[in-house]
Structure 1
């Protein structure tokens, strides 16, 4: 690693030491870690869209909000300083933008730069990235690439098998492509789905709509929490920086303990969540079957409901929940297999997101395509047989940003070590016959439909070795800062300055 972009004797000239793909939470966090921990390294952030924010710039549906607390979802180096742990999308986007500007990250972002493909040259030990730079084909070269693109396909949602949906003569909307000026005032709205998006949409649409019905095939666990912190009084006693660190620590570990409790005592956890929901339901809405999931808590993501707004809408009588399956969509609504029907002016297909890695770009090594779905992920951060590249994949059972920061801190330690040891490439390698001894494990520990459908396109994890899926933040940040990165890694030495 050069530590500068000009190259040196025996190394290829490059535009940047590091290129980060994506200017969302992951990309901005990685940018900060690179500039803070790798002084002298040049970097740039490629962003395909017109603005930063990633998910928080893409989704525009009413009420879009975080499904994790902002004390842990926010940046460790620029803590969320408001009292509400759950925040709306616009507030999160402003926070990300303010962070990027405050720390000088924004000037390194190249907007409207979409990565189409990237090829690693084993002779030059450099990445060549083919980029659509606002309509102009451009090639950028980098020694290391960080894919901070998340795992959603921004252009294509998950297709749901809804019989005769095209027969509907009203409006059909997917939350990923919400019309800017949609008027749902006085309309009958049916939301198909039961995940975080549907649970967010229902109370917000019910404020103006005539009627909002959430039609679900099976329920999701919902946990109502007050959208304010109970530790705010500590802010008057402690220095600001200490207060924010303590608050972040409390939320990290209470969330972790709750997750482990649900996994260890699923029956008791079901009972606790049932009590939380039952006491908020109006008399005309029963707990069973509408709020009795078929799975154990945290087998799928738990939906957080700030201040119980979902249940408030049910109690006001302008919203309801139906648990049924669709027989067919008609011109004016939906016929259910139970024999009932739902009239609708608008149908919203909140049926999930399509997953993809590296933003859908084509990755090759010496011109040969890398099949991501056939490779294992090394320690949750780098792909088998792919040199000098890392994928930022956060947690499914905790805030995404915690995993993103553990990855970013691993990358900076790896790059610093490579520079010190005059190493030009690092490639995760499987030992001879090692793959035959491994049992495949899911990369993401959820059984949600959108995850299982996409599993063949995601990297694999295994039952042992450096190929195990990530476990939790404390373990991962320890690995990032002090862990072994020799096992399963093949290094190439070169002539560096």
Structure 2
């Protein structure tokens, strides 16, 4: 028994997909444990509440972005944000989670007290002084990017006389009817915004510095909708989910094994959609498929807007911003009333929370991942960092399940904390698992935790393997040590001894 009873057994940071998924797993697997969710925004939903730009939707199918325990029931598998928020709200209401959520609560700092086996968490609320909460276990479902500050590409915008927007801070009720819109960027956000705005705008131009690999597929999953007619809802969902998991895995591996073949297949689809309007240079990136995430184009909406003359893609570099728009380095001018800078995100580790251990700041870049959810020599803390090559929720699901089993093992053994022990002279060979050329990844490599070549000290990128290992390997694997409060609390991080 802990000497001091915490406010909650588990404090979950973030009420988005990761946090709600953990809460649902706790309701199912750890009904005797207390928990709370703190969310800095005024609404739940995380990404799906923050972004309000036109067309905001998933960039992967909802049979894998949805939870393993809750079937996706909508007809469209590529879903818009309101549908995703409806899904999340239904889960928190039906499963008794909403009463555990406190919105408007921003976590500023969290310090692990080894002798108490408690996290002391500093929370800031609007209009109130900062307060401290205590928890035995801290679960970070705060995502991977900075909610407060998007990436600044350093544009000198002063000469432009129109309106400039960033997708992360979209104004409410923006009227762009009949306006000329320029979207700078070629990632998933730009590919979503361009066709969505093309309906009302006079014209939309997407300005890309370099092309992006795009993949067109129907927004509706025909097999999923057929199976729902002939099978029970949960069975149909499981079959569709596993089919899509295997398809994602196959596509990624094919891109790495036979990139030229995949390039040809991707471009053939686009050429078929655009017909005579197809320009090979516009759709030929200088990198291989899946060196960055593929941009999904549901129902070929971007290409349909281009064929209709409502949108176009221009490849070029910005020389300067002028009064009426943008001048490119070749002298061409793109006129615009509204410029959207879809130039990317800033990554943020652990929700920018100041994490410390017995008063000493934790530098995550010097810690190794343990099984993709914990960190070397850091007790009772777990995090969700989704897959780069598959849907985010796949990792959130297996991490939640794993941590709930760890919590139950702690209860069964009468222990108060767990720590993945890594000796100081570990000799692990490091591996750059973030070998994606995406700007937001490359800009953030210096803050990312370490990964070794082999399990368990890595953030693996293969869901099927991870799922099997996380479910089948023993919790007490000789690395993850279960301990009682106060036992060896003063030991050096790298040389922790087994609890008595």
Query: Normalised by the shorter chain, which TM-score bucket?
Result: over 0.9
What is the aligned partner in structure 1 of residue 51 from structure 2?
A: 59
Q: Secondary structure at the match of 2:177?
A: coil
> Which consecutive segments of 4 or more residues in structure 1 shift more than 6 A?
none
SS at match of 1:423: coil
Deviation at 1:214, TM superposition (A): 0.3
Counterpart contact for 2:76–2:220, Cα < 8 Å? yes
Asked whether the equivalents of residues 413 and 481 of structure 1 are also in contact (C-alpha less than 8 Å), the reply is no
Between the aligned partners of 1:107 and 1:445, the Cα distance in structure 2 is 41
Contact 1:115 1:131 survives alignment (8 Å): yes
The Cα RMSD (Å) is 1.6
Superposed counterparts of 1:224-235, under 5 Å = 224-231=216-223, 232-235=225-228
How big is each residue's C-alpha offset from its partner over 1:403-432, in whole Å with a ceiling of 9 and x where there is no partner?
111111110111111221222222223223
Q: Distance in 2 between matches of 1:31 and 1:403?
A: 15
State which of 466, 483, 494 in structure 1 corresponds to 2:473. 483
Q: CA deviation at 1:252?
A: 1.2
2:447 alignment partner in structure 1: 457
* Deviation at residue 131 of structure 1 after TM alignment: 0.6
For the 8 Å contact 2:115–2:486, the answer to whether it is kept is no
Q: Distance in 2 between matches of 1:86 and 1:413?
A: 32
The alignment status of 1:378 with 2:370, answered yes or no, reads: yes
**Does 1:239 pair with 2:232?**
yes
Match of 2:389 in 1: 397
Shift of 1:265: 0.9
The answer to whether the Cα contact below 8 Å between 2:7 and 2:135 also exists between their aligned partners in 1 is yes
Correspondences of 1:43-442 after superposition (within 5 Å): 43-136=35-128, 137-162=130-155, 164-231=156-223, 232-288=225-281, 290-434=282-426, 436-442=427-433
1:471 maps to what in 2? 461
Give the Cα separation in 1 of the matches to 2:299 and 2:395. Answer: 27
C-alpha distance after superposition, 1:267-322 (max 9, x if no partner): 1000100101111225345121x100111111110111110000000000021111
2:422 aligned counterpart, secondary structure: coil
Residues 421 and 299 (structure 1), Cα distance of their counterparts in 2 relative to 1, 3 Å cut: same
CA–CA distance in structure 2, aligned partners of residues 122 and 484 of structure 1: 25
- Name the structure 2 match of 1:4: none
Does the 8 A contact of 1:193 with 1:350 survive in 2? yes
Query: In structure 1, the residue corresponding to 2:158 is in which secondary structure?
Result: helix
> What's the secondary structure of 1:279's corresponding residue?
helix
Contact 2:64 2:393 in 1 (8 A): yes
Q: Flag the 1:495–1:429 CA change in 2: closer, same or farther, 3 A.
A: closer
Contiguous gaps of at least 5 residues in structure 2: 488-500
- The answer (yes or no) to whether the contact 1:168–1:332 under 8 Å persists in 2 is yes
**Alignment deviations for residues 93-117 of structure 1 (CA, whole Å, 9 cap, x no partner):** 1111111111111111011111010
Q: Is the 8 A contact 1:470 1:476 kept in 2?
A: yes
Gaps of 5+ in 1: 1-7
Shift of 1:262: 1.4
Pair 1:17-2:5 in alignment:
no
- Spell out, residue by residue over 1:409-463, the C-alpha distance to the aligned partner (whole angstroms, 9 max, x if none): 11011111122122222222322321x4422423x44220011101112212121
Aligned residues of 1:15 and 1:141 also touching (Cα < 8 A): yes
2 CA distance for matches of 1:371 and 1:495? 24
Alpha-carbon shift at residue 469 of structure 1 (Å): 2.4
**1:209-261 C-alpha deviation (Å, 9 max, x unpaired):** 11111000111111111111222222232222211211111111122112111
**TM (normalized to structure 2)?**
0.94
Change (3 A) 1:495 1:376: closer
Conserved? CA contact 1:466–1:487, under 8 Å: no
**Which whole-Å CA distance do the structure 2 matches of 1:184 and 1:311 have between them?**
21
Distance across 1 between alignment mates of 2:150 and 2:364:
20
Aligned 8 A contact 1:219 1:293 in 2: yes
| SS of equivalent residue, structure 2 residue 470 | helix
Query: How many aligned residue pairs are there?
Result: 484
- Specify whether residues 387 and 166 from structure 1 end up closer, same or farther in structure 2 by C-alpha distance, changes over 3 A only: farther
